[in-house]
């Protein structure tokens, strides 16, 4: 049986170069859960657990009913600030986030509702009821691999910002991450995270020549 692996199928969306690079991430389906506060706070960890519980319950239930099998994708997160201030200047407790796991388009809302009901009955976290199915288009982004602790992301973000400035690209203000490594055991200095900086598409179109020149 063929197992769908969206992470490998859409390799171009998950490029992890050592230097900033521009990519285009088209519309896709995700399981998602929203919240406010710093990563690693209790509600954040609870949301991660809820999201994974739904993801695996839906996957294995569909598999049981011969509805196809697929690999659970890496965890992704979008962070933004409600007053559009730069995230680094704002207190972490005011960060808005959306945690996402990319999911095949065959997965339906009814799958998620059913999974949430089964999980709640068995006393798993109530947050499973907050998991939803969304379509989302990241569109144009600057992307780069960050190796090291989450606290040290700034040095990588600075390189991405310099890239944006050099090519007159306008960042949307959102900060996105794709978690490659497991922070529970992998030592911080070896953690791999793909950082994604969405940029306004109009600025990409306008400066396409400059970007192409660089990638050549």
Partner 1 sequence: MRKKTQLSYIARMVNVVNYIQQNLDNELTLEELAQQANFSSYHFHRIFSGMLGESVKELIRRLRLERAAVQLRTSTASILDIALAAGYESDMAFSRAFKSRSGVQPSKFRKSEQASFPCLSISSVRYVTNEHISSFDPFTDEELNMNVTIKQVNDTLVAYVSHQGPYKDCGHAWDTLCTALAPEGLLGGDAKMIGVSYDDPDVVAPDLLRYEACISVDEVFSTTDEIAFKAITGGRYAVTTHIGPYEKLNETYQKFLGQWLSQSEHESADRPCFEIYLNDPESTEPEELITDIYLPLKELRNE
4 lies in the binding site for partner 1 (CB under 8 A):
no
Please say which residue, 63 or 96, places its beta carbon nearer to partner 1: 63
Q: Which residues contact 148 (CB under 8 A, 6 or more apart)?
A: 188, 189, 191
The whole-angstrom separation of Cα 36 and Cα 44 is 8
Q: Does 61 bind partner 1 (CB under 8 A)?
A: yes
Please say which residue, 110 or 121, places its beta carbon nearer to partner 1. 121
The DSSP code sequence of the chain is -PEE-HHHHTGGGG---SS-EEEEE--EEEEEEEEES-TTSHHHHHHHHHHHHHHHHHHHHHHHTTS-EEPPPPEEEEEE-TT---GGGS-GGG-EEEEEEE--TT--HHHHHHHHHHHHHTT--GGGGG-EEEEE--EEEEEEEEES-GGGHHHHHHHHHHHHHHTT--B-S-EEEEE-S-TTTS-GGG-EEEEEEEB-HHHHHHTHHHHHHHH-
- Shortest reach from residue 48's CB to partner 1, in Å: 11
List 9, 16, 49, 145, residue binding partner 1 (CB under 8 A): 49
**Which range in 59-67, 83-91, 143-151, 196-204 contacts partner 1 by CB under 8 A?**
59-67
Selected binder of partner 1 within 2, 122, 151, 215 (CB under 8 A): 122
Positions 102 through 121 that interact with partner 1 (CB under 8 A): 115, 117-121
Q: Which is nearer to partner 1, 188 or 213 (CB)?
A: 188
The nearer residue to partner 1, 41 or 69, going by C-beta atoms, is: 69
Q: How many residues bind partner 1 (CB under 8 A)?
A: 36
| Residue among 142, 155, 140 at smallest CA distance from 20 | 142
| Smallest separation (angstroms) from partner 1 to the CB of 116 | 9
Binding segment for partner 1 (CB under 8 A), chosen from 9-17, 20-28, 153-161, 182-190, is 182-190
Is 150 a binder of partner 1 (CB under 8 A)? no
Residue 60 binding partner 1, by CB under 8 A? yes
- List residues near partner 1 by CB under 8 A: 3, 5, 7, 49-50, 52-54, 56-61, 63-64, 71-74, 115, 117-125, 128, 181-182, 184-186
């Amino acid at each position: 049986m063929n197992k769908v692996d969206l992470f490998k199928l859409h390799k171009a969306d998950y490029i992890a170069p050592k230097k900033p690079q521009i990519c285009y991430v088209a519309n896709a389906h995700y399981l998602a859960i929203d919240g406010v506060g710093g990563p690693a706070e209790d509600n954040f960890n609870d949301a991660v657990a809820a999201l994974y519980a739904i993801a695996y319950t839906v996957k294995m239930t569909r598999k049981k009913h011969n509805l196809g099998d697929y690999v659970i994708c890496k965890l992704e997160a979008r962070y933004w600030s409600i007053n559009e201030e730069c995230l680094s200047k704002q207190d972490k407790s005011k960060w808005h986030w959306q945690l996402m796991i990319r999911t095949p388009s065959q997965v339906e809302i009814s799958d998620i509702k059913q999974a949430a009901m089964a999980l709640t009955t068995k006393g798993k976290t109530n947050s499973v009821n907050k998991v939803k199915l969304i379509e989302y288009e990241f569109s144009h982004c600057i992307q780069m691999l960050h190796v090291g602790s989450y606290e040290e992301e700034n040095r990588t973000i600075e390189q991405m910002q310099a890239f944006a400035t050099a090519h007159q690209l306008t960042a949307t203000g959102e900060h996105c991450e794709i978690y490659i490594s497991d922070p529970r055991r992998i030592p911080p200095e070896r953690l791999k995270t793909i950082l994604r900086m969405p940029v306004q598409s109009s600025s990409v179109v306008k400066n396409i020549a400059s970007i192409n020149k660089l990638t050549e």
